[in-house]
Amino acid sequence: MKLRWCRNCNVPLISDRCESCGELGLEVPISRTSDPRPAWESDLKLLREVLEKEYGAGCYADLLRNGDSVVLFGRAPYMDTSYEVISDGAVLGHLFFDLFSFSWKFKPSEAGAVRIEHRMEKINRVADKGEVVGEAKEGDPDFKLTLNGIACKIGNKYVITRVFKGRKAIDVKQDRKLLFEANEREIGLKGSRASLFIYRMWRKHGKLVVSFSGGKDSAVILDLAEKSGCDYIVYFNDTGIEMPETVEQSKKADIVGSAGDSFWRYVPKFGPPARDYRWCCKVLKLVPTYKALKGVTKMTLVGQRRFESLDRMRSKKVWMNDWLPGILTAAPINEWTALDAWLYVMSRKVEVNKLYFMGFERIGCYLCPSARISDFLKVKEIHPELWKRWEDFLFSTGWSENQVKYGLWRWIDVPKRFRIFGEGRKRIELSEASKIPRERLMNLAKTSSPEDPAVMIRASFCAGCGVCSTYCDAIEIRNGLAFITDRCNSCGLCNRLCPLLLHH
């Protein structure tokens, strides 16, 4: 995505031209994953603390020269949370949670270094990226400036991690806060286009369901649906592992689907949910949603945006979700950036989840495997009792201090760069066929054959989660296990749906 900035008004723009002064916006070179959003008070507080600790008192004022300039935080690719700090039309540096020291750090960019160079130690030489430019001892600063770049402390050496291009920081002429004036028409346009889309969907498909997750994007959809004049109801799905602030948002819903205590019932059998083993999505979201919405609507609206992640970059605006047969899903703000959504929220005074202002970038289950360690530390701080329950579970099932500290349960196949922190878990292995109860095997074999690995795995490890029985009437849950009745026509669908098979 592109981010533009008006040099005159010193504000970000969501279209090419500034609506306040007419100037063409200058493109800010942000990362591909960035999707920046406004930095809130809690974000700036963190930035200030980190800057002053690392570079001395007064550093925050040096970096953000205009105390009242707009500051945006974008996402940068990294092992844990990393924000591009964007202000005055430039990326000033990265604020990131360093897993090695388990603390937040700030690494200035070229534009940022120009502003705080008097606070940084120097290495008086020119060097290329990757070159070792000095020894580092304990207590030495994390970053030093060279004549043409920045060196990072890696182990006991300083290594050049970035060579500057010689581009000067942008001169800020004025510091007026014209954020809304500079973007108002475009926000209005985007809003009316999305509302019109919703209206058309309603005319075509009848009563709509707004899937409200408690996040800002779905709060925008709710507001747009209201303005469109369509007939809709609001649905909230409670996974049972939401933060109280999110559950609070469910007051806005007409129907609340609930997974009850499913998570705690099935986690001993499935193991922790993982990025490459999201049984949680099926059991806690898709199944309760399908049960609640079956026969209620032909279309749901979701707040999904394609800039949210690289995975979603190519997603369509209307699609059929395999897990919601007969119900179309539409994403009216698919092309919006986070900045579009936030400008809409702020200018239309849409009420959003408090968690955003406590430093959470995304709203979701509190132990979501997609979350970062820095998010978990925040959960632990705000709701220690919730985090304790999860940690207690992990420790009681054999995870070590280290595996918990670095969240290694978040993968089945732990990525290489995380393996320095420890091992992952054992996969569910296909147990030897002789150990599988024969009766179970023969029952499940009706769906395929007794040699099918899917059948063997289901026969050995069925958790009784009911995912398969939700989608096929030929399956019943008996004594906590899936039982295939005579109505089965061997279509094999259930073998593709079972969460046990997700990582095979």
Q: Which residues bind Zn ion (CB under 5 A)?
A: 6, 8-9, 18, 20-21, 23
145 binds ligand SF4 (CB under 6 A): no
As a whole number of angstroms, the distance between CA 289 and CA 273 comes to 19
Q: Helices H, strands E: what count in the chain?
A: 17, 20
DSSP state for residue 240 in the 8-state scheme: S
User: What CA–CA distance (Å, rounded) separates 324 from 426?
Assistant: 32
Indicate the residue among 360 and 471 with the shorter CB distance to ligand SF4: 471
The encoded tokens of residue 157 equal: 């050496």
What's the burial of 147, exposed, middle or buried (CB within 10 Å: 0-12/13-18/19+)? exposed
Minimum CB distance to Zn ion smaller for 6 or for 345: 6
> Minimum distance from CB of 37 to Zn ion (Å)?
20
Separation of alpha carbons 95 and 83, rounded Å: 5
Nearest to 192 by CA among 217, 229, 219, 218: 229
Sheet holding 132-135, edge to edge: 132-135, 157-163, 149-154, 143-145
Among Zn ion, ligand SF4, none, partner that 20 touches (CB below 5 to 8 angstroms by kind): Zn ion
Cα torsion through 39, 42, 46, 47, rounded to 10: 30
Residue 463 contact, options Zn ion, ligand SF4, none, Cβ 5-8 Å cut-off depending on partner type: ligand SF4
Q: Which does 436 bind (CB under 5 to 8 A by kind): ligand SF4, Zn ion, none?
A: none
Q: Is 111 in the site for ligand SF4 (CB under 6 A)?
A: no
- Shortest distance, position 11 Cβ to Zn ion, whole Å: 7
Closer residue to ligand SF4, CB minimum distance, 99 or 454 = 454
**Given 397, 431, 449, 489, the residue binding ligand SF4 (CB under 6 A):** 489
CB of 9 or CB of 284, closer to Zn ion? 9
Q: How many CA atoms lie within 13 A of 191 on its CB side?
A: 22
Closer to Zn ion by Cβ: residue 179 or 259: 179
**CB-CB contact of 100 with 78 (8 Å):** no
Among ligand SF4, Zn ion, none, partner that 490 touches (CB below 5 to 8 angstroms by kind): ligand SF4
For 358-405, give the DSSP string.
Answer: GT-SS-S-TT-TTS-HHHHHHHHHH-HHHHHHHHHHHHHTT--HHHHH
Residue numbers 424-483 binding ligand SF4 by CB under 6 A? 447, 458, 462-468, 472, 474-475, 482
**CB of residue 65 to Zn ion, shortest distance in Å:** 19
When the beta carbons of 6 and 243 are compared against Zn ion, the nearer one is 6
Q: Take residue 363 and report the two structure tokens written for it.
A: 């709203």
- Residue 402 or 489 having the CB closest to ligand SF4: 489
Could you give the angle at the alpha carbon of 348 between the alpha carbons of 379 and 176, nearest 5°?
Answer: 90
498 contributes a contact to ligand SF4 by CB under 6 A:
yes
Q: Minimal distance in Å, beta carbon 264 to ligand SF4?
A: 16
38 or 288, CB closer to ligand SF4? 288
In angstroms, the CA 60 to CA 40 distance is 15
- Give every CB contact of residue 351 below 8 A, 6+ residues apart in sequence: 219
Tell me which of Zn ion, ligand SF4, none is bound by residue 92, counting a contact when its beta carbon lies within the kind-specific cut-off of 5 to 8 angstroms: none
Size of the site for ligand SF4 (CB under 6 A): 24
Contacted by 21, from ligand SF4, Zn ion, none: CB < 5 to 8 Å by type = Zn ion
Partner in contact with 6, chosen from Zn ion, ligand SF4, none, beta carbon below 5 to 8 Å by kind:
Zn ion
User: What's the closest the beta carbon of residue 21 comes to Zn ion, in angstroms?
Assistant: 3
Cβ-based nearer residue to ligand SF4, 220 or 444:
444
Q: Which is nearer to Zn ion, 23 or 175 (CB)?
A: 23
Using the rule CB under 6 A, is 378 a contact of ligand SF4? no
State how far the Cα of 364 lies from the Cα of 61, in Å rounded to an integer: 34
- Smallest separation, CB 107 to Zn ion (Å): 30
Distance of CA 474 to the CA centre of its chain: 37
Side-chain-side CA neighbours of residue 243 (13 Å): 27
Phi-psi region of 22 (alpha: psi -120 to 50; beta: other; left: phi over 0): left
Q: How far is CA 350 from CA 221, 307, 345, 367, 416, in A?
A: 10, 21, 5, 27, 42
Residue 343 interacting with ligand SF4 (CB under 6 A): no
Selection from Zn ion, ligand SF4, none that 475 binds (CB < 5 to 8 A by kind) is ligand SF4
Among 100, 126, 491, 504, binds ligand SF4 (CB under 6 A): 491
Q: Which does 491 bind (CB under 5 to 8 A by kind): ligand SF4, Zn ion, none?
A: ligand SF4
In the list Zn ion, ligand SF4, none, the entry touching 489 (Cβ below 5 to 8 angstroms by class) is ligand SF4
Residue closer to ligand SF4, measured from CB, 301 or 474: 474
Instruction: Give the number of other CB atoms < 10 A from CB of residue 418.
Output: 16
Per CB under 6 A, residues contacting ligand SF4 are: 447, 458, 462-468, 472, 474-475, 482, 484, 488-494, 498-500
